[in-house]
């Protein structure tokens, strides 16, 4: 994890990790479980949970939750790697765009996302606790951790951008993953795009392509993606 602004480091970790440990209150006892997660364009985590699951029953009792995003997988000593705990409240939402975004990131969820007992939750972030290695410990308020600039235009165009890129520029996506990110495989797809980067998936593998500067419109996103594709071919 690079040096830099703790809020940006924490948000990059939140966007990159697509699973997390969810901690809920089981009527006075702490309860931890593994969940799939997707960051929205501002970085707010979203979860798709069954009402039958213990963590969902816990949330109905007490909506306060925390999520641990673990970025230490590639470190020989995990305690030297980055991890982020997000503290907030889980609120059930009826948001078709956010649900579509979750399914795009986690294709297996398409098989159960329409079941009556599954509910989409958005985590209303209060603050984050980043440990970026020994001695690099920071509390980060929600206003700093989340991406504040308006991404409404990009959010509205996200599905079209993904469709066009996956259908017409599959070779460019492979170039992003293999050449720019050093990942193997030939069937990479783009599963999400936000102002700060794009999310890629190949089977069960995921990767994050960070942009050098934020983009807020489809035109700006296209310009950046074209330039990155050119870099990948060099």
List the chain pLDDT tens, one digit each, 234 residues: 446 899 999 999 999 999 999 999 999 999 999 999 999 999 999 999 999 999 999 999 999 999 999 999 889 999 999 999 999 999 999 999 999 999 999 999 999 999 999 999 999 999 999 999 888 899 999 999 999 999 999 999 999 999 999 999 999 999 999 999 999 999 999 999 999 999 999 999 999 999 999 999 999 999 999 999 999 997
The phi-psi region of residue 106 (left if phi > 0; otherwise alpha if psi is between -120 and 50; otherwise beta) is beta
Residue 1: its pLDDT value, please?
45
Instruction: Output the pLDDT for position 147.
Output: 97
Phi, psi of 222, deg, nearest 5: -60, -45
> For the residues of 114-182, what is the DSSP string, one character each?
TSTTEEEEEEEEEEEEEE-STT-EEEEEHHHHS--S--HHHHHHHHHHHHHHHHH-HHHHHHIIIIIS-
Name residue, tokens 């306060």: 64
Q: With 0-12 CB in 10 A as exposed, 13-18 as middle and 19+ as buried, what is 40?
A: buried
Identify the structural domains of the chain with CATH numbers, from first to last. 6-145 (2.30.110.10), 152-233 (3.20.180.10)
pLDDT in tens, 57-79: 999 999 999 999 999 988 999 99
CB-side neighbour CA atoms (13 Å) of 69: 26
Q: Per DSSP, which regions of the chain are E strands?
A: 19-26, 29-36, 38-39, 45-50, 64-70, 83-92, 118-131, 137-141, 189-194, 197-202, 205-210
How many CB atoms are located within 10 Å of the residue 226 CB? 12
């Amino acid at each position: 994890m690079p040096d830099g602004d703790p809020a940006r480091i924490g948000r990059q970790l939140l966007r990159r990790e697509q699973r997390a440990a969810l901690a809920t209150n089981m009527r006075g006892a702490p309860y931890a479980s593994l969940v799939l997660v997707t960051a929205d364009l501002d970085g707010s985590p979203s979860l798709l949970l069954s009402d039958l699951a213990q963590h969902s029953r816990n949330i109905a009792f007490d909506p306060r939750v925390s999520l641990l995003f673990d970025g230490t997988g590639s470190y020989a000593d995990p305690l030297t790697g980055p991890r982020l705990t997000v503290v907030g409240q889980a609120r059930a939402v009826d948001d078709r765009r956010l649900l579509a975004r979750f399914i795009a990131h986690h294709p297996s969820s398409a098989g159960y996302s329409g079941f009556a007992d599954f509910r989409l939750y958005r985590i209303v972030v209060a603050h984050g606790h980043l440990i970026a290695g020994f001695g690099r410990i920071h509390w980060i308020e929600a206003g700093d951790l989340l991406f504040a600039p308006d991404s409404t235009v990009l959010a509205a165009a996200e599905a079209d951008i993904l469709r066009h890129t996956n259908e017409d520029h599959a070779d460019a996506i492979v170039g992003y993953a293999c050449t720019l990110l050093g990942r193997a495989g030939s069937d990479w797809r783009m599963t999400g795009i936000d102002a700060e980067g794009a999310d890629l998936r190949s089977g069960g593998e995921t990767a994050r392509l960070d942009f050098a500067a934020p983009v807020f419109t489809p035109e700006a996103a296209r310009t950046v993606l074209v330039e990155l594709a050119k870099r990948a071919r060099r």
